[in-house]
Amino acid sequence: MSNVTDAKPQATAVPASGLKKFWADFSESRLALFALAVFSTILFIALFAPWISPTNPYDLGSVDIMNSRLPPGSEDFAGNVYWLGTDGAGRDMLSSIFYGLRVSLGVGAFSGIVAMAIGATIGLAAAYFGGRLETIIMRIVDIQLSFPSILMALIILAIFGKGVDKTIIALVLVQWAYYARTARASALVEKNKEYVEAAQCLALSDRRIILSHIMPNCLAPMIVVGTLQTAHAISLEATLSFLGLGLPITEPSLGLLIGNGFEYMYTGDFWISIFPGVALLITIVSINLVGDQLRDIFNPRLQK
């Protein structure tokens, strides 16, 4: 720790040097840096899939059933090379994976953001107002966390059927409790600090104190949980889609691609199932590694 922070122990906002320090801390782990680079690449692919994919796998005009189940690296009559092979309908696997990443990351990140917004609001309110409200909220959180997430999602999707909207709702309902618990834990520490008291003396509204005073100081643990939870959500969505309960066939995520390839496993056409799985694994592992490093940085016990 430098003298700067010792001199101003109350400094809570992140100044420019804070960002620099954050980056220095983060890049201490080569593995985390590598993971971040991998994840950035994946994010880039997901965002720009329609422009960088060799073909559009969902444009019926460009898909030829004659090209179905070509092994990786093969070439069709028109001279197109399928680096990762083609699936049962003749779609290029590489392009399918690019588009699938888009769906998987989109659903995972969107549900994560919604769950974080809802969970953080509930958790912060519970900590700030305390009393009976807090007891009831935290009891609900405890009960929900005692059920495995796959079971909660299964119950919701079994009742309401599949679909993009329903999958997102299921993922949000599964995740909000984690965010609520994290937000409450850090808000409990913050709410007794002097700056909150000062804000209360200024007769600021509760809403304003919670949102613009307490929340920014609870962000660090929220970001850590958010990173790890997003990886979890992507994995869960893939599982649900593989089981045929999550996304519809019109929104093929990585899980659906793997599921589609599953039937070809027994005939030895491994690439249809394996490559989307590798893409999924790389995504999840890179997010987890970045999340682990963030957790180490923000963990006060590990700070030098």
Binding site for other proteins (CB under 8 A): 139, 143, 146-148, 150-151, 154-155, 157-161, 231, 235, 238-239, 242-245, 255, 258, 262, 265-266, 268, 270, 273-274, 277, 280-281, 284-285, 288
- Pick between residue 32 and residue 214 the one whose CB is nearest to other proteins: 32
Cα–Cα distance for residue pair 39/42, rounded to 1 Å: 5
Return the closest-CA partner of residue 93 out of 117, 119, 63, 126: 63
Q: How far is the CB of 278 from other proteins (least distance, A)?
A: 9
The residue among 63 and 172 lying less far from other proteins, judged by its C-beta, is 172
**Closer of 190 and 273 to other proteins (Cβ):** 273
107 vs 231, beta carbon nearer other proteins:
231
Selection from 203, 13, 223, 211 nearest residue 128 by Cα: 211
If the CB atoms of residues 120 and 284 are measured against other proteins, the closer one turns out to be 284
Q: CA-to-CA distance for 232 and 250, rounded, in angstroms?
A: 23
Spatial separation of the C-alpha atoms in residues 89 and 72, rounded to whole Å: 15
Cβ(43)–Cβ(287) below 8 Å? no
Q: How far is the CB of 232 from other proteins (least distance, A)?
A: 10
Nearest CA to 37 among 290, 238, 294, 297? 290
Q: Of 130 and 216, which CB lies nearer to other proteins in the complex structure?
A: 130
Residue 44 beta carbon to other proteins: minimum distance, rounded to whole angstroms = 21
Q: Closest distance between other proteins and the C-beta of residue 93, in Å?
A: 15
CB closer to other proteins out of 66 and 159: 159
Residue (159 or 302) nearer to other proteins, CB: 159
Q: In terms of Cα–Cα distance, which of 228, 276, 249 is closest to 92?
A: 276
Please identify which residue in the block is written with the tokens 């019926």: 60
Least Å distance between CB 207 and other proteins?
30
Q: Are 15 and 2 in contact (CB under 8 A)?
A: no
Minimum CB–partner distance for residue 156 and other proteins (Å): 8
Residue 90 in contact with residue 63, Cβ under 8 Å?
Answer: yes
Cβ atoms of 46 and 102 within 8 Å: the answer is: yes
- Exposure string (b/e) for 252-273, b if CB count within 10 Å is 16 or more? bbbbbbbbbbeebeeeebebbb
- Which C-beta is closer to other proteins: that of 31 or that of 198? 31
> At what angle are helices 93-129 and 131-145 packed, to 10 degrees?
150
CB of 290 to other proteins, least distance (A): 12
C-alpha Rg value of the chain to the nearest Å: 23
- Contact present, 174 and 114 (Cβ < 8 Å): no
